[in-house]
Amino acid sequence: MKITENVFQLESTKRSHIFLILAEENILIDTGMPKPVKEILDELQGLGVAPKSIRTILLTHHDVDHIGNAKQLQEATGADVWAPEEDIPYITGERIRPGVKRVIGAIVRPQKPVIAGTYVTKKRFADVQALRAPGHTPGHTIFQYQGIVFTGDLFKFIDGRFRLFPGFMNWNQNEVKKSLSMLKKMEFEWLLPSHGGPVHNSPAAHDFLAQF
């Protein structure tokens, strides 16, 4: 789905989106649930995007539906993969989240990408700005680019309804709310959550954010 002239929400990983930003050096945000990576590469080819033109992959957080194809896409593109500092131990498998995420992690085991660095050392990728928005995970990060905010898993927007993730899916529910209140102060044309969406700047979007 084309969001703007140079921002796309890919169709090949529908349930947990991959976003493509066409810049001087093309950027992917997140990598979806593990699947045959060829389907993603074919979709990119269809958009006229050669694998090697993707130089940067930005991960919002460590969950399997976001890092699922990071390693395979890294191999196919040669891109640098960036991740939130606090989430790296969970990406590498050094640490495991308790509760439901432990169960998911035991079932789905994505391959591990090589992490080039964190948003502590680098906050800007071309015109894409990384902003720490913890709560869903310790290091959960959102990205701002030309009137668009890629909001990761701060909330979902499915069937026209805004929803928060249930508490047991969030690392810290209070931090989620604090991060959502940060969105309230940001100017945007589109909010692009990883699940559902897109959300146009509208009274409904502002009513949702006004709760935080």
The Cα-based distances of 167 to 26, 106, 143, 176, 193 in angstroms read 35, 20, 23, 10, 18
Q: Whose Cβ is closer to Zn ion: residue 49's or residue 133's?
A: 133
We find the least distance from the C-beta atom of residue 205 to Zn ion, in angstroms, to be 20
We find the least distance from the C-beta atom of residue 194 to Zn ion, in angstroms, to be 5
Q: Whose Cβ is closer to Zn ion: residue 86's or residue 153's?
A: 153
We find the least distance from the C-beta atom of residue 104 to Zn ion, in angstroms, to be 10
Q: Whose Cβ is closer to Zn ion: residue 51's or residue 165's?
A: 165
* List of residues 6+ apart from 158 with CB closer than 8 A: 195, 196
Residue 39 Cα to chain centre, angstroms: 19
Q: Whose Cβ is closer to Zn ion: residue 23's or residue 131's?
A: 131
Q: Which residues bind Zn ion (CB under 5 A)?
A: 63, 65, 153
What does the block give as tokens for 86?
């606090």
We find the least distance from the C-beta atom of residue 187 to Zn ion, in angstroms, to be 25
Q: Whose Cβ is closer to Zn ion: residue 65's or residue 86's?
A: 65
We find the least distance from the C-beta atom of residue 66 to Zn ion, in angstroms, to be 6
Contacts 24+ apart (CB under 8 A), 182-185: 182/131, 182/133, 183/133, 183/142, 183/149, 183/151, 183/154, 183/209, 183/212, 184/209, 184/210, 184/212
